[in-house]
């Protein structure tokens, strides 16, 4: 889950880029400020609101673990990434809803059972938080 601290840091960084653009005009800082502003507005803020919505109005369910997705990012530099994919039927229409964990650098497969806890707001099923507290390593939740 994205925290308010993450949002504040991103906004401060964006404002610093904007100030740098006006103090020492450079097209690169202007473009970076626009990109950071778009990232905050279109990615970070909706993820934060979705997490808060799931916490306030969501219900905790047990989703069936479907698979652990693995890929390599950037060869030796980026390293391996893993995501847990879990599914559960929606109570309103019975369709299967998929939940994806944030990417991890350690394989979670040895620590997984058949299910994983997910807090989801069924009126907005994209607003969910997968509980990964059972893993013995830290998971950054910036992506989902």
Q: Alpha-carbon distance 32 to 30, whole Å?
A: 5
pTM, rounded to two decimals: 0.73
Q: Check residue 44 and give its pLDDT.
A: 87
Counting beta carbons within 10 angstroms of the beta carbon of residue 86, is it exposed (0 to 12), middle (13 to 18) or buried (19 or more)?
Answer: buried
Cβ contacts of residue 67 below 8 Å, gap of 6+? 85
Is the pLDDT at 68 greater than 90? The verdict is yes
Is the pLDDT at 75 greater than 90? The verdict is no
Average pLDDT over residues 75-101: 89
Q: What share of the chain has pLDDT > 70, as a percent?
A: 93
Coil/strand/helix, residue 137 = coil
**13 within 8 A of 36, measured Cβ to Cβ:** yes
- Give 143's pLDDT tier (boundaries 50, 70, 90): very low
36 closest CA partner among 70, 11, 19: 11
């Amino acid at each position: 889950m994205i925290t308010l601290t993450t949002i504040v840091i991103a906004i401060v960084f964006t404002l610093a880029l904007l100030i740098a653009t006006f103090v020492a005009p450079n097209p690169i800082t202007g473009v970076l400020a626009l990109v950071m502003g778009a990232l905050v507005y279109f990615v970070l803020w909706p993820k934060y609101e979705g997490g808060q919505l799931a916490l306030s109005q969501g219900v905790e369910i047990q989703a069936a673990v479907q698979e652990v997705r693995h890929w390599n990012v950037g060869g030796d530099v980026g390293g391996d990434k893993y995501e847990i994919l879990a599914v559960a039927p929606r109570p309103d229409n019975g369709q299967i809803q998929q939940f994806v964990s944030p990417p991890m650098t350690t394989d979670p497969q040895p620590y997984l059972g058949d299910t994983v806890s997910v807090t989801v707001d069924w009126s907005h099923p994209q607003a969910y938080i997968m509980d990964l507290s059972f893993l013995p390593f830290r998971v950054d939740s910036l992506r989902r």
